[in-house]
Structure formats: structure tokens, C-alpha cells
């Protein structure tokens, strides 16, 4: 079966850059959960009809697709509306699980596959992967990059960064951490080293159980009160 790695990281950490590098340099097959979700409410799919019914026809853009900017303005900062949107889109987890299962059933054992999920560690996704990787970055560097990339003010950038858990809190749940606080060259070198170690263990059959699986089992274990 193919090697499947789940990739996550906070906004502006560089998870998309890591995935793009693995595709271009190492021939990985890549699924971006955000894009998968967007396809779930294309015209003609049930998610499209449910979103229009719940949030109004003004969500439909001139091209006939859901205008994500309009939709986002309707739900941003409202937990109940976000929940309603998630329900309207459909079975997101099942959609991604189906992609991973397809990879495993159809691709050779030497194929690297990566699934990019912002909330990788908040859902069951690592249970379907061979490893979970976290792209981490110094918060102040992330702030600078987010302001430059998106044209945000400092206040806007800090607001978005504040919505993400610090990478240190997520670190115990992942198998590899790739830092992205210095140069592009350093980042790519660290990616290569992480992949080389993972591939060597995978090919030798010594990759072991993902840390997220271990953590999940520990959470379910009864507490000894003696």
C-alpha cells in the first residue's frame, strides 16, 4: 500500500509550501482538504442545494458557483452558523477517508501520498494515515509573513493567528515536526531529512504506530484510582 502522510500547521506556517515541495521534488500525490470541501458544494451536488437553502440565493456568484467570500461573511465568527455550514456541506470526514482508501487500494507501495488538513489533529484523520507531520513556525515570523502575503494589518493578522493552537500544544500528537522559521533552503533540507527517515522506516517495516493513535488509545484507557 501507498505511504500516506497527514500534514498540518497553523496559518502562514508553510504547510502548503511543504506539500508543494513534496509533489514537485518527490512525486507525491496531494489532496488539500480545503479544495476537497470546496468541490463538495459545486453546482449539481447536494451540498450546493443545502447551502443555498440555508444561507440564501445571494450566496450564488455570477459564475453559478457558491461565492465563498459572501458565504464566509455570513458565518464568520458565529459558531452556530459555522456548524450549520458544516452540516450543509455534507460528510467531509467521509469524503477525505474515501480518498485515502482509494489511494491504499489502487497505488503501489512506493507511492508517497499526502493529505493536507488544517484541523488534522482535531478530527480522526491521523487514524487513517501512516504518519502525521506538523509544520511549525515562530509566531512573530508567521505574523510578518501573513501581513506580507495577505495584505493584513498587524491587528488583522494577529486576530487570525490567535484562532490557531500554538504548535507546541500539537507537537505531542505528531510523528515529525518541520520548522519553517528561517530560510527556504533550511526548510527544504529539513523536509528532505524528515522524508528520508520516514521512508527508510516504512520500507523496513519499522515505521511503528502513529503517535496520534497511541494518544487516542491512552485517552480511552480507564484511569487507575488505586
Q: What is the pLDDT of residue 1?
A: 84
User: Is 226 domain-assigned?
Assistant: no
3-state secondary structure at position 221: coil
CA atoms of 50 and 56, how far apart (whole Å):
10
What are the φ and ψ backbone dihedral angles of 61, each rounded to 5 degrees? -80, 175
Count of structural domains, the chain:
2
In a domain, 225, yes or no: no
Domain containing 187 equals 3-35+93-214
Residues of the chain with pLDDT under 50: 223-226
Domain shared by 73 and 150, yes or no: no
Whether 221 is in a domain gets the answer no
pLDDT of residue 225: 39
Same structural domain, 30 and 64:
no
If asked whether residues 125 and 206 sit together in one domain, one would say yes
> Do 69 and 112 share a structural domain?
no
Examine the domain organization and report whether 113 and 157 are in the same domain: yes
| pLDDT per residue as tens digits for the range 85-116 | 999 999 999 999 999 999 999 999 989 999 99
Q: pLDDT value at position 57?
A: 96
Contact residues for 173 (Cβ-Cβ < 8 A; gap 6+)? 121, 126, 132, 211, 212, 215
Residue 143 lies in a domain: yes
pLDDT score, position 216: 87
* pTM for this model (two decimals): 0.90
**Set of cell numbers at residue 208:** 511503528
Amino acid at each position: 500500500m501507498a505511504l500516506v502522510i497527514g500534514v498540518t500547521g497553523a496559518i502562514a506556517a508553510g504547510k502548503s509550501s511543504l506539500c508543494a515541495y513534496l509533489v514537485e521534488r518527490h512525486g507525491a500525490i496531494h489532496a488539500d482538504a480545503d479544495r476537497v470541501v470546496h468541490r463538495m458544494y459545486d453546482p449539481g451536488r447536494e451540498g450546493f442545494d443545502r447551502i443555498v437553502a440555508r444561507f440564501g440565493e445571494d450566496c450564488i456568484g455570477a459564475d453559478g458557483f457558491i461565492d465563498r467570500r459572501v458565504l464566509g461573511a455570513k458565518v464568520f465568527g458565529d459558531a452556530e452558523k459555522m456548524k450549520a455550514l458544516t452540516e450543509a456541506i455534507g460528510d467531509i470526514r467521509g469524503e477525505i477517508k474515501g480518498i485515502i482508501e482509494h489511494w491504499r487500494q489502487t497505488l503501489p507501495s512506493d507511492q508517497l501520498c499526502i493529505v493536507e488538513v488544517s484541523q488534522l489533529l482535531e478530527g480522526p484523520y491521523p487514524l487513517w494515515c501512516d504518519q502525521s507531520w506538523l509544520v511549525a513556525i515562530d509566531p512573530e515570523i508567521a505574523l510578518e509573513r501573513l501581513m506580507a502575503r495577505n495584505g493584513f494589518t498587524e491587528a488583522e493578522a494577529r486576530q487570525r493567528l490567535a484562532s490557531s493552537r500554538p504548535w507546541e500544544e500539537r507537537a505531542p500528537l505528531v510523528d515529525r515536526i518541520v520548522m519553517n522559521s528561517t530560510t527556504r533552503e533550511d526548510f527544504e533540507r529539513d523536509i528532505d531529512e524528515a522524508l528520508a527517515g520516514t521512508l527508510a522506516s516504512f520500507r523496513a517495516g519499522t515505521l511503528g504506530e502513529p503517535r496520534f493513535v497511541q494518544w487516542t488509545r491512552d485517552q480511552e484507557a480507564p484511569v487507575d484510582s488505586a
